[in-house]
């Protein structure tokens, strides 16, 4: 629960400051002349000026929004070469285990297969589609598990969160 003190003045702040200045001058003058009751006048002026500021206590109870992580696994034909299927499965299991342990985190998982029109791996299109379905300020990261063969490279202007790529295969491998 969050408690806060707010002010919503009944009169413009410049007018309030003018009243405060006149009041302080009048009380200062009565003090300088040695008049009795200047302290009571000061207290009354302070209470009046604070009342004109119209203070109020606001109590808010908020529920945190969950963070969303997108995990996209490349399951195209190029991922079936050599040790890539095993590496991909192990990486996915480990990532899912680590993310599942985090509180207040929703994991959105997707798999990309070969495109019907045989135009290659459409990984970025899948990322864009998932980003369009979720609130941008709740996306905390995108994880791609792929061999790096992506055929729809384009800037991800809608992505404001980190993008991580887990590459399968080895450096000497080829498709």
Taking only the tens place, the pLDDT of each residue in 59-95 is 988 888 899 999 988 877 777 777 888 888 888 899 9
Overall average pLDDT of the 39-50 stretch? 90
Residue 98: pLDDT band (50, 70, 90) is very high
Nearest to 134 by CA among 92, 71, 63: 71
Q: How far is CA 32 from CA 23, 27, 28, 29, 171, in A?
A: 14, 9, 6, 5, 87
- Tell me the domain boundaries of the chain: 2-60, 67-167
Helix and strand totals (H; E) in the chain: 4, 6
CA distance 144 to 164: 6
């Amino acid at each position: 629960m969050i408690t806060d003190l707010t002010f919503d003045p009944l009169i413009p702040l410049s007018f309030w400051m003018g009243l405060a200045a006149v009041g302080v001058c009048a009380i200062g003058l009565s003090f300088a002349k040695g008049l009795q009751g200047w302290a009571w006048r000061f207290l009354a002026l302070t209470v009046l000026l604070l009342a004109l500021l119209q203070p109020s206590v606001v109590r808010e109870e908020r529920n945190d929004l969950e963070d969303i992580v997108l995990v996209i696994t490349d399951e195209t034909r190029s991922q079936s070469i050599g040790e890539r299927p095993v590496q991909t499965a192990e990486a996915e299991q480990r990532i899912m285990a680590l993310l599942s342990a985090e509180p207040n985190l929703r994991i959105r998982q997707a798999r990309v297969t070969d495109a019907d029109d045989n135009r290659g791996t459409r990984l970025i299109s899948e990322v864009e589609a998932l980003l369009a379905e979720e609130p941008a300020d709740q996306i905390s990261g995108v994880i791609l598990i792929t061999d790096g063969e992506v055929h729809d490279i384009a800037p991800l202007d809608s992505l404001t969160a980190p993008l991580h790529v887990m590459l399968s295969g080895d450096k000497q491998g080829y498709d």
